[in-house]
Chains A and B, each alone.
Chain A
Amino acid sequence: MAEPIPIETLHPTIRMLSDEQIQAIHHTSLDILSRTGIVMKNEAGRELLLDIGAWESEGRIKVPPYLVTDAIASAPPRLPMFNRLGELTMPLEAGKVFFGPGSDCPFTIDVNTGQRREATAEDGRCFAHLCDGLGQIDFIMSMGTPSDVPTMDHYLHSFIAMIRGSVKPNVYTANNRQDMEDIHRIACAVAGSETELREKPFLLHYAEPISPLLFNDESVDKLLFCAEKGLPVAYIPSPNAGGGGPITLAGALALGNAEGLIGLVLTQLVRPGTPVLYGMNTAALDMKSAIVSYGSPEWPMGMAACADLARYYGLPVWGTAGATDSKLVDAQAGIEATVTIMTAFLTRCNLVHDAGSSA
């Protein structure tokens, strides 16, 4: 974390939503879950919901509001993350902001030649090592998808590269439960034992449902694995406005919130108290190029609104900043990174990823 400024009187923050607007989005999300319902492709996830009071109609699972309220109450408001030396370096809790890179970019800009090329496993280690030495960077993500390892093993190699390159806490991605088991085995070996890993977790899993309201088998399976092991997890929907989500920001927020709350419900049903990082990636789909725009104004606005929702729920929150639509390190990249980093800081997003990513 950046060194705190030693001024006790000035702690500026920004809010996007009024209390009434937060309530309106919350209630819309509850309506989406109980009236429209979700499509759940994971059998265990389906049974968990149906056993506790959700019901099925027209091929969709309808989730009543009280399940969501219970889950919010049972999820921990703080998520302490440790480095591999056992030090509490990243307490994800109200008012604390931590920054780090993103993950899973197929390409990178070669640091020696300046040319765009496919990323390698060695790049992953070098990125982690660089981040390890940067004082403003608090956690590691893999940045590049290694192209020089067997495709189905690339998440595993990304995790290994992060471990080899840095002692800072990391956020990792995985393909399926098999990957999760392999990564968990490695993490237990690194920590010393499964108990030591539980007590001082240095890793947080990132998974996503598919907006709108589609919960694919693998992502739910990975989420449930983390809950079974009691390990930190972020289940982050990406309801990009006009693509997977409604064109209005309020609509996209209500949808993303509904999807994120299902992740919360599932983890708390498996193990009450499972540490969950709340959040969503709410961007606009650029109608000209059909890409999800990281530099669009909707991104920081959606992030700020999401931070307001997290504060209302009393949950630690995920953020996105320092990323750009530009393919070069140019003025556009500078402006987009600045706006998003400022927003993340002023809204007090706790774990802020994607510094250095280019859409």
Chain B
Amino acid sequence: MQTKSQIVTTQAVIASEAKQSPSRKEEIASSQKTLLAMTRAEQLPQILEQIASNLYKGENEAVADLVQQALDQEMAPADILNGGLIAGMDEVGKDFKAGELFVPEVLIAARAMHAGMNVLRPLLAESDVPSAGKYVIGTVQGDLHDIGKNLVKMMLEGAGFETIDLGTDVRPDDFVAAVQEHHPQLLGMSALLTTTMPGMKATIEALEEAGLRDVVKIMIGGAPVTAAFAEQIGADAYAPDAATAVDVARSLVA
């Protein structure tokens, strides 16, 4: 049910967007003109800044175009990734944590990140650029909830981590097998239920038995999970939200 005032507001929003969007296009076009006018050395940091700021705004097409332009100008893929895409997602993460951005804005920014990554990925694979770290992630055995886990995964990818997502209801043995197969620096476990939290402890014990506990740093999270619980079961770290998870992951691989 829409009230009259809601309809009026909606119309106002649509009108303002219609007004805004040509000017957005002009803005992008004019900044591209400015870029062309400059020498190559001057362009480099500017184009990275543009990638970052467009990513922040969720302009997925602009991000893909700008990444391609940067490549055409023979910038190194690793520089584009770190100085453009990751720098942009860092801003997103920072402002999300500060309560200035909300979940939908993070999702739109992540979509723009992926648009840029799609252009960059084949070249990154060729040039053997090291990722920020390899991260195996999953929801523990008996638990089928994955919204929080997916959000963490997305933010980690935004920070340049290579993630291996084992999905939900992941048995301790499957976490162990993934560590053996992928050799990650980090392992992340999620649980929404108090009754599935013991699955985190069981996984850590399984890693100990397999002699793999010391090769990987373990992070845990989820609504009922606390820092005290992480300490109690011998995990390396706890993160209360997706943005903090990135900071914690970075500090663990630093």
A and B associate = yes
How far in angstroms is the closest Cβ of chain B from A170? 19
How far in angstroms is the closest Cβ of chain A from B231? 14
Please state if A244 and B197 are interface contacts (CB–CB under 8 Å).
no
Cβ of B151 under 8 Å from chain A: yes
Residues of B contacting A21 in the complex (Cβ-Cβ under 8 angstroms): 1
Given contacts A151-B197, A154-B195, 4 further A-B contacts (CB under 8 A): A152-B198, A210-B144, A287-B104, A290-B242
Given the known inter-chain contacts A106-B224, A210-B144, A210-B145, please indicate yes or no for A290 contacting B103, CB distance below 8 A: yes
Q: Mark B137-165, 1 if CB is under 8 A from A, else 0.
A: 00000101101100100000000000000
Q: Which residues of B contact A (CB under 8 A)?
A: 1, 99, 102-104, 142, 144-145, 147-148, 151, 194-195, 197-198, 224, 241-242
Main secondary structure of the interface of B (DSSP, over half): loop
Given the known inter-chain contacts A104-B194, A145-B194, A151-B195, please indicate yes or no for A214 contacting B144, CB distance below 8 A: yes
Given the known inter-chain contacts A154-B194, A290-B151, A290-B241, please indicate yes or no for A216 contacting B102, CB distance below 8 A: no
Given the known inter-chain contacts A216-B144, A218-B142, A243-B147, please indicate yes or no for A287 contacting B194, CB distance below 8 A: no
Q: Complex formed: what's the CA distance from A237 to B58 in Å? A: 33
Cβ of A288 under 8 Å from chain B: yes
Give the size category of A's interface with B. Answer: 20 to 34
Please state if B102 and A175 are interface contacts (CB–CB under 8 Å).
no
Q: Mark A224-256, 1 if CB is under 8 A from B, else 0.
A: 000000000000000000111000000000000
Q: Mark A206-219, 1 if CB is under 8 A from B, else 0.
A: 00001000101010
Main secondary structure of the interface of A (DSSP, over half): loop
Query: What are 9 contact pairs spanning A and B, CB under 8 A?
Result: A104-B194, A151-B197, A152-B195, A154-B194, A155-B195, A175-B195, A242-B103, A288-B103, A290-B241
Q: Which residues of A contact B (CB under 8 A)?
A: 21, 41, 104, 106, 145, 151-152, 154-155, 175, 210, 214, 216, 218, 242-244, 285, 287-290
- Specify the chain B residue showing the minimal Cβ separation from A285: B103
How far in angstroms is the closest Cβ of chain A from B169? 9
How far in angstroms is the closest Cβ of chain A from B58? 14
Q: Complex formed: what's the CA distance from A145 to B229 in Å? A: 15
How far in angstroms is the closest Cβ of chain A from B224? 5
Given the known inter-chain contacts A106-B224, A287-B103, please indicate yes or no for A244 contacting B147, CB distance below 8 A: yes
